[in-house]
Amino acid sequence: MNFLNLEYFLVAAEELNFTRAAKRLYISQQSLSSHIAKLEEYFQAPLFDRTPPLTLTKEGSCLVRRAKEMLQIREETAKEINDIRDFKSGELSIGCTRLWGRVILPYILPVYNRRFPNVRLHLLEGNADEVEASLQHGQVDLSIGYVPSNCSNLTVNVICQEKMVLLVPFQLLDRTYPEHAREVKLALKETSDITLLKDCPFLVMDPASSMGVATNHIFRSIGLTPQIALQSRNLETLLALCFQGMGVMFCPEVLVAEELFHKDEALVDSLGIYPLFYQEAQRQLSINHLKNKYLPHAAAEFIQLTKDSMDTNPFRLSFFP
């Protein structure tokens, strides 16, 4: 038995069709059958029931699970040996939500690349669920995002406390409360009371997203049923619409600071930005890795660099004095 036999077997087990599997592997069907036969001879058991349609036997299903484990051990062993030889080379795969990829990685990756120019970086971007799944399935070495819902098999490195703020376009207040807009602005500045905006439309994240869940918790805690102008899974789209006065929204403070840094003063002056004092508006950002998977030196160095950067770079600065 060798690793190549196992790799070919797993492709055949996924396709459950030798012709498709052989095409996917760029080998002949006869060659694929030979690799499968060697495994069946080694284990003295049939791995496939070849009566159409092709299916796995119980022995085959067992080998699928174990083959994945063996190939993962091989990959981790190769990484560990490479680290021992020269930890400054190798590969590092990172899963990151699009928000944090935009806000954090520009401060970290250039510095990391200068320190370890021979480490090849791979970036997987997606929503929070996609990033968490990629880590759980071993597709990435590290994930960056909010502390995952399932941490039992993870090492979680908290790197900062992230806050949400309330964004209120003043033009929207002027339209909604033409006679009392000034009073509402003053009251918001003093209290950040969201119920003052009960007549305003809201721009909200999809309720299945982590921010959508936090937002709904806040609404329920204050007994407010908001008027929803638009619901989206794209936070930056909602922020652009908020800037145009379409609705009120909650937004991570770091994204607001990043966006307004590149905008003109007129836009900054046209927007009310208020702190939120709800528990749901305070969330921890972390870098995570699997406990049972070897952590390369390249990944450990990335974690340390990120922790150091979060203490010194502009996105850590509070938006409020």
**Residues whose CB falls within 8 Å of the CB of residue 141, separated by 6 or more in sequence, listed in order:** 92, 93, 94, 289, 293, 295, 296, 298, 299
Q: Average the pLDDT over 212-235 and give the result.
A: 92
Amino acid 16: pLDDT: 94
Indicate if the pLDDT at residue 285 is higher than 90: no
Is residue 283 within 8 A of residue 128, CB to CB? The reply is: no
Q: How far apart are the C-alpha atoms of 95 and 72, rounded to whole Å?
A: 18
The alpha carbon of 37 is separated from its chain's Cα centroid by a whole number of angstroms, namely 41
284 falls in which pLDDT band (50, 70, 90)? confident
Q: How far is CA 102 from the centre of its chain?
A: 12
Give which of 320, 280, 278, 286 is closest to 303, Cα–Cα: 286
Domains of the chain: 3-82 (1.10.10.10), 88-161+283-316 (3.40.190.10), 162-282 (3.40.190.10)
When mean pLDDT is compared over 253-257, 269-273, 309-313, the highest value belongs to: 269-273
Instruction: Name the DSSP class of 140.
Output: -
CA-angle at 27, arms to 24 and 29, nearest 5°: 95
Confidence of residue 262 (pLDDT cuts 50, 70, 90): low
Is residue 304 over pLDDT 80? yes
Q: Is the pLDDT of residue 64 over 90?
A: yes
Q: Is the model's pLDDT at 44 over the cut of 90?
A: yes
- DSSP reduced 3-state for 279: helix
- Please compute, for residue 50, the number of CA atoms within 13 A of its CA located in the half-sphere on the CB side: 8
Which pLDDT belongs to residue 86? Answer: 63
pLDDT tens digit sequence for 167-211: 999 999 999 999 888 999 999 989 989 999 999 999 999 998 888
The pLDDT assigned to 318 comes to: 46
pLDDT for res 312: 62
> What's the distance, Cα to Cα, between the start and end of the chain in Å?
65
What is the rounded distance in angstroms from the CA atom of residue 316 to the CA atom of residue 312?
A: 7
Put simply, whether the predicted model's pTM sits higher than 0.95 gets the answer no
Task: Compute φ and ψ for 34, nearest 5 degrees.
Answer: -65, -40
Instruction: Kindly report, residue by residue over 267-282, the tens digit of the pLDDT.
Output: 777 889 998 888 888 8
